[in-house]
């Protein structure tokens, strides 16, 4: 793909995470089917830049159609000015494409220049169009002039017998519903049968197509959502590198979570870091910058401009902020339209405009009967809270800043914890959707049987035994699998509800609903917990009037024998995480960081996994030998390191499943640092019960480490845990 | 059905006494293998079990917790459990974590067997892999 830019604001290689969508776009432009291509973009997801990138791509590909890209609603111009701007821009882009000279797209040209630059074969058509333009502009009918200009690409295409592909950006017209301009754009580009690409906000596009009487089902759609975590991370990494802003994996993860993958917000924060010369290497710096952005940066200006457009009058805007903020405090965050109208104190079309605009920009969700604050984007709710404190509560700015900073800092670990738990989830929804009538060993769904037969054997042996198992379960054909976390009141991704048919026979008798849930239990799940979950899921089944139901509980370490009896009573399945992983592998076949280090310092990264701690132990043994530690001390260091690795593996929901180790040799000591990313263990620094009861058998690791080493220090780092252990040479 | 692990636990019987050999690294997996074999021997009615640590270089805390479980299991079966051939580091670890309050540690297998019924040591021995 091309690296050169014409209309695009960022280089192609920096335009991250949209390859599939661009590919779909190019495919449409190559084939030019009779249907439209509609781009449904999330607010601040980069819809306009996507169109510009697509334009550049088409320009250099030299496809048969001449691309024309125009964004409406850039500034407060009159209809005549907008129409003229469109006409001039379209003609310049046409000439540029025909002359294969990208610079003509952005050079200031008079109509005389444009006519002179037209190729001989286009000259007559171009000059004729310009003459018509001058004539129409002289008339006093604004609407006719606008219509003439919007129809100009079609006319030129007809007279030159070339195909023109308009790429129409309506993103900035969001909320301007049923205005003259919007109506005419719809008429010119959506109501006609010619190929065209129209982009708008995803909540705006259905209204536009409805206005045009166009069949949404007949159009090709591209959904431009926020970037996924991985792409957002790459984008932020790219931005910070380009802007020479120092950042770390941890801080980038936090920012991505906080800004929910919005390219606009990510770019705003990175740019602000550059301008303020702030490094994004710790959570405090990130949150300070974030709060600055909320209070007066690009993010502030974005929301501030949006609210000014939605409610131009200052008093109405202030009331709107109050109503929005206070509605977020109620339990449901939802209120009737009547209540909103009364509280806002505006009537008729003004009220409708405000609610429509809030909905289209995804600041609130309007169902027609009720309105609720949209809390999906933390950046919006944070901005709203800050504005409420400043403008409505009359709080001093310094105090608002301080409170916002404290809140965001306190929230950071929870934000990361949610991410890790989400990533550590087993993906039951996807797993259920892959069932597809496959046959699997029954013991994968019966923890008691599995534990009795397979505990203590390595994965290869267990798989061999499972292959030989005679008791087989035929899974249903799942036709719909949804995230049931809202219904079951669990964290996202931890409950799934799948509708399907036994034996893939579509009859009432064969209809089955699987309700699967991941439950939290450090040890084998007990009777009470299992019973509680069985009853909870059974209630969901009853309330939703599910017919045939199969409950499936997944507990990381399986179930006690009493819990297994409860599962049997409910005819429910119960699996451990290991069983689910084995099942996943059966349903879908399987498909270091290095840094410069000081001479007296060694670094090692090991994956969390079976016995990998031994590799680390052998390494530290070699290092300790080189500096003449006594054999018993070497063994103590080895065991301490092994325990630290086990601790890291067991007690963190590590996103990268890696343990980072550093061995620093000093004059009189060896300092071993073991770090992992993820959740900081609860009760960090507390000892296990080593004296006692045989029942409390786990949790000795830390006590052991403290006994074996001379100094042990736990350090909470921004994103995980770091354990520093020192052994002195005596 | 039963599963056969890739690395079996070495064990043998001397009369009514089962002797189980721990591997070089006693962790969760190898500990569970020993646990399984030990429980199998107890269910078969063995009066005593000796766990021989002659090959064991390192025992981690999970391995220790499994051994504590075995002490429990032996107590419930009213059988004797003795550890033998424990190296000094591992012995310190057992001491530190309180295992030595619940289990006897013999210098070697012969001493362990001598602590059990005299007839056990006279009986014929059989070796097998669990």
SS (H, E, C) chain B: CCCCCCCCCEEEEECCEEEEECCCEECHHHHHHHHHHHHHHHHCCCCEEEEECCCCCEECHHHHHHHHHHHHHHHHCCCEEEEECCCHHHHHHHHHCCHHHCCEEECCHHHHHHHCCHHHHHCCEEEEEC
Distance, in Å, from the CA atom of A96 to the CA atom of A60, rounded to the nearest integer, reads 11
Q: Do the Cβ atoms of A704 and B64 come closer than 8 Å?
A: no
State the smallest CA–CA distance between residue B17 and chain A in angstroms. Answer: 23
What the block records as the tokens of A315 is: 């008093």
Q: Do the Cβ atoms of A724 and A713 come closer than 8 Å?
A: yes
Which of A614, A644, A700, A707 to substitute to test the interface with B, most B CBs within 10 Å?
A700
Which of A457, A462, A689 to substitute to test the interface with B, most B CBs within 10 Å?
A457
- The three-point CA angle A165-A172-A377 to 5° equals 120
**Stretch (H or E) spanning A671:** strand A669-677
SS (H, E, C) A237-283: HHHHHHCCCCECHHHHHHHHHHHCCCHHHHHHHHHHHHHHCCCECCH
Distance, in Å, from the CA atom of A79 to the CA atom of A244, rounded to the nearest integer, reads 43
Chain B residue with the nearest C-alpha to that of A703:
B97
Q: Report DSSP letters for A377-409, one per residue.
A: -HHHHHHHHHHIIIIIS---HHHHHHHHHHHHH
Q: Do the Cβ atoms of A605 and A658 come closer than 8 Å?
A: yes
- Is A642 close to B58, i.e. CB distance below 8 A? yes
Query: B96 to chain A: which residues are within 8 Å by CB?
Result: 690, 704, 707
- Rg (C-alpha) for chain A, rounded Å, is 31
Contacts of residue A710, defined as CB under 8 A and 6 or more positions apart, other chains included, come to A669, A726, A727, A728
What the block records as the tokens of A719 is: 């994103």
Q: Do the Cβ atoms of A47 and A199 come closer than 8 Å?
A: yes
Distance, in Å, from the CA atom of B1 to the CA atom of A190, rounded to the nearest integer, reads 67
Which of B3, B30, B102 to substitute to test the interface with A, most A CBs within 10 Å?
B3
**Looking at residue A179, what is its pLDDT?**
81
What are the tens digits of pLDDT across the range B29-41? 899 999 999 999 9
Phi/psi at A631 (5° precision): -55, -40
The shortest CB-CB distance from B25 to any of A464, A614, A692 is to A614
What number of other Cβ atoms are within 10 A of residue A278's Cβ? 17
Distance, in Å, from the CA atom of B17 to the CA atom of B108, rounded to the nearest integer, reads 14
- Is A639 close to B89, i.e. CB distance below 8 A? yes
Distances (CA, A) of A389 to A340, A379, A399, A404, B54: 20, 15, 9, 10, 71
Distance, in Å, from the CA atom of A586 to the CA atom of A249, rounded to the nearest integer, reads 33
State the smallest CA–CA distance between residue A390 and chain B in angstroms. Answer: 55
Q: Do the Cβ atoms of A721 and A705 come closer than 8 Å?
A: no
Contacts of residue A711, defined as CB under 8 A and 6 or more positions apart, other chains included, come to A724, A725, A726
Query: A697 to chain B: which residues are within 8 Å by CB?
Result: 64-66, 68-69
The shortest CB-CB distance from B60 to any of A456, A642, A707 is to A642
- Is A460 close to B65, i.e. CB distance below 8 A? no
Query: A458 to chain B: which residues are within 8 Å by CB?
Result: 5-7, 29
- Is B58 close to A691, i.e. CB distance below 8 A? no
**Looking at residue A414, what is its pLDDT?**
81
Phi/psi at A142 (5° precision): -60, -45
The shortest CB-CB distance from B1 to any of A456, A469, A707 is to A469
Distances (CA, A) of A691 to A196, A219, A646, A687: 76, 71, 21, 11
Burial label, A212 (beta-carbon count in 10 A; 0-12, 13-18, 19+): buried
The shortest CB-CB distance from B89 to any of A635, A698, A704 is to A635
Q: Report DSSP letters for A326-343, one per residue.
A: HHHHSSS-EEEHHHHHHH
The CB-side HSE value for B23 (13 A sphere, CA atoms) comes to 17
**Rama region for A538: left / alpha / beta (φ>0; ψ in -120 to 50; rest):** alpha
- Is A457 close to B5, i.e. CB distance below 8 A? yes
Query: A464 to chain B: which residues are within 8 Å by CB?
Result: 3-4
Distance, in Å, from the CA atom of B50 to the CA atom of B112, rounded to the nearest integer, reads 7
Residues in chain A where the model's pLDDT stays below 50:
1-2, 589-598, 685-696
Query: B71 to chain A: which residues are within 8 Å by CB?
Result: 694
Distance, in Å, from the CA atom of A158 to the CA atom of A540, rounded to the nearest integer, reads 61
**Looking at residue A263, what is its pLDDT?**
94
**Looking at residue A177, what is its pLDDT?**
63
- Is B6 close to A458, i.e. CB distance below 8 A? yes
- Is B61 close to A694, i.e. CB distance below 8 A? no
Which of A455, A689, A694 to substitute to test the interface with B, most B CBs within 10 Å?
A694
- Is A700 close to B61, i.e. CB distance below 8 A? yes
What number of other Cβ atoms are within 10 A of residue A414's Cβ? 9
**Looking at residue A691, what is its pLDDT?**
42
The shortest CB-CB distance from A694 to any of B29, B32, B72 is to B72
More confident residue, B52 or A376: B52
Share of chain B above pLDDT 70, in %: 84
Q: Do the Cβ atoms of A268 and A299 come closer than 8 Å?
A: yes
Phi/psi at B70 (5° precision): -70, -35
Burial label, A592 (beta-carbon count in 10 A; 0-12, 13-18, 19+): exposed
Q: Do the Cβ atoms of B33 and B9 come closer than 8 Å?
A: yes
Q: Which of A640, A624, A636, A627 is nearest to A673 (CA)?
A: A640
**Looking at residue A209, what is its pLDDT?**
82
- Is B3 close to A457, i.e. CB distance below 8 A? yes
Which of B59, B60, B87 to substitute to test the interface with A, most A CBs within 10 Å?
B60
Question: B-side interface with A, Cβ within 8 Å?
Answer: 1-7, 25, 27, 29, 31-33, 35-36, 58, 60-62, 64-66, 68-69, 71-72, 88-89, 93, 96-98, 102
Distance, in Å, from the CA atom of A454 to the CA atom of A562, rounded to the nearest integer, reads 19
**Residue position matching structure tokens 């999970």:** B62
Alpha helix positions (H), A100-139: 111-117, 120-138
Query: A700 to chain B: which residues are within 8 Å by CB?
Result: 61, 64-65, 97
**Looking at residue A319, what is its pLDDT?**
95
What are the tens digits of pLDDT across the range B57-77? 999 988 999 999 999 999 999
- Is A611 close to B27, i.e. CB distance below 8 A? yes
Contacts of residue A463, defined as CB under 8 A and 6 or more positions apart, other chains included, come to A582
């Amino acid at each position: 793909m091309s690296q050169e830019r014409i209309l695009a604001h960022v280089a192609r290689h920096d335009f991250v995470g949209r390859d599939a969508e661009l590919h779909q776009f190019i495919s449409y432009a190559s084939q030019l089917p009779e249907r439209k291509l509609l781009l449904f973009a999330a607010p601040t997801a980069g819809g306009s830049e996507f169109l510009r990138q697509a334009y550049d791509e088409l320009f250099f590909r030299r496809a048969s159609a001449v691309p024309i890209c125009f964004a409406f609603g850039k500034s407060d111009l009159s209809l005549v000015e907008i129409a003229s701007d469109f006409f001039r821009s379209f003609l310049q882009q046409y000439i540029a494409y025909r002359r294969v000279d990208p610079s003509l797209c952005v050079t200031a040209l008079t109509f005389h220049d444009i006519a002179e630059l037209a190729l001989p074969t286009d000259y007559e058509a171009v000059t004729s169009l310009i003459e018509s333009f001058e004539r129409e502009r002289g008339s006093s009918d604004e609407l006719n002039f606008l219509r003439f200009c919007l129809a100009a690409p079609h006319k030129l295409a007809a007279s030159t017998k070339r195909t023109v592909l308009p790429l129409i950006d309506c993103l900035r017209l969001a909320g301007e519903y049923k205005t003259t301009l919007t109506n005419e754009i719809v008429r010119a580009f959506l109501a006609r049968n010619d190929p065209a690409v129209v982009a708008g906000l995803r909540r705006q596009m259905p209204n536009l197509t409805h206005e045009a009487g166009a069949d949404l089902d007949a159009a090709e759609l591209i959904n431009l959502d926020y970037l996924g975590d991985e792409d957002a991370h790459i984008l932020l990494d790219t931005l910070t590198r380009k802007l020479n802003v120092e950042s770390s994996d941890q801080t980038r993860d936090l920012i991505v979570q906080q800004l929910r993958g919005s390219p606009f917000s990510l770019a705003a924060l990175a740019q602000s870091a550059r301008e303020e010369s702030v490094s994004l290497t710790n959570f405090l710096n990130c949150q300070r910058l974030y709060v600055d952005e909320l209070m007066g940066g690009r993010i502030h200006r974005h929301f501030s401009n949006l609210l000014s457009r939605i409610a131009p009058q200052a008093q109405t805007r202030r009331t709107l902020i109050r109503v929005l903020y206070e509605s977020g405090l109620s339990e449901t965050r939802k209120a009737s339209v009547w209540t909103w109208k009364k509280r806002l104190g505006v009537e008729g079309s003004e009220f409708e405009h405000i609610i429509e605009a809030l909905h289209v920009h995804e600041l609130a969700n309007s169902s027609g009967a009720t309105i609720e604050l949209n809390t999906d984007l933390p950046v919006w709710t944070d901005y709203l809270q800050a504005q409420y404190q400043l403008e409505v509560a009359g709080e001093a700015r310094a105090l608002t800043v301080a409170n916002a900073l404290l809140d965001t800092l306190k929230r950071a670990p929870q934000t990361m914890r949610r991410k890790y738990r989400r990533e550590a989830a087993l993906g039951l929804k996807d797993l259920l959707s892959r069932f597809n009538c496959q046959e699997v060993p029954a013991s994968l769904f019966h923890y008691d049987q599995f534990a009795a037969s397979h505990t203590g054997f390595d994965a290869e042996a267990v798989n061999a035994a499972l292959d030989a198992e005679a008791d087989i379960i035929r899974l249903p054909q799942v036709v719909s699998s949804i995230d049931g976390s809202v219904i079951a009141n669990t964290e996202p991704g931890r409950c799934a509800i799948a509708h399907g048919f036994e034996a893939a026979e579509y009859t009432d008798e064969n209809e089955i609903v699987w309700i699967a849930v991941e439950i939290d239990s450090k040890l084998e799940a007990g009777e009470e917990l299992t019973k509680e979950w069985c009853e909870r899921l059974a209630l969901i089944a009853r309330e939703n009037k599910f017919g045939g139901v199969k409950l499936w509980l997944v507990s990381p370490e399986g179930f006690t024998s009493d819990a297994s009896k409860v599962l049997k009573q409910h005819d429910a399945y119960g699996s451990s995480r290991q069983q689910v992983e084995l099942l996943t592998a059966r349903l879908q076949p399987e498909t270091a960081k290095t840094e410069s280090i000081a001479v007296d310092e060694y670094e090692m990264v090991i994956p969390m996994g079976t016995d990998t701690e031994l590799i680390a132990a052998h390494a530290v043994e070699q290092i300790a030998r080189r500096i003449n530690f006594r054999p018993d001390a070497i063994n103590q260091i080895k065991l301490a390191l092994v325990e630290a690795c086990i601790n890291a593996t067991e007690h963190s929901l590590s996103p990268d499943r890696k343990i980072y180790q550093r061995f620093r040799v000093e004059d009189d000591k060896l300092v071993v640092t073991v770090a992992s990313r993820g959740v900081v263990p609860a009760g960090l620094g507390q000892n296990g019960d080593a004296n006692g009861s045989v029942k409390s058998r786990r949790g000795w690791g830390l006590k052991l480490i403290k006994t074996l080493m001379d100094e042990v220090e736990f350090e909470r780092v921004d994103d995980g845990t770091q354990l520093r252990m020192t052994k002195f040479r005596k | 059905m039963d599963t056969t692990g890739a690395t079996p636990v070495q064990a043998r019987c001397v009369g009514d006494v089962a002797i189980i050999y721990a591997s070089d690294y006693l962790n969760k997996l190898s500990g569970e293998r020993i646990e399984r074999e030990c429980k199998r021997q107890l269910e078969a009615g063995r009066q005593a079990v000796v766990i021989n640590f002659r090959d064991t270089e390192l025992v981690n805390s999970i391995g220790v917790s499994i051994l504590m479980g075995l002490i429990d299991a032996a107590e419930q079966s009213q059988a004797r459990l003795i550890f033998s051939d424990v190296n000094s580091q591992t012995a310190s670890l057992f001491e530190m974590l309180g295992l030595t309050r619940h289990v006897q540690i013999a210098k070697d297998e012969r001493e362990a067997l001598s602590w059990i019924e005299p007839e056990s040591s006279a009986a014929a021995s059989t070796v097998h892999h669990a």
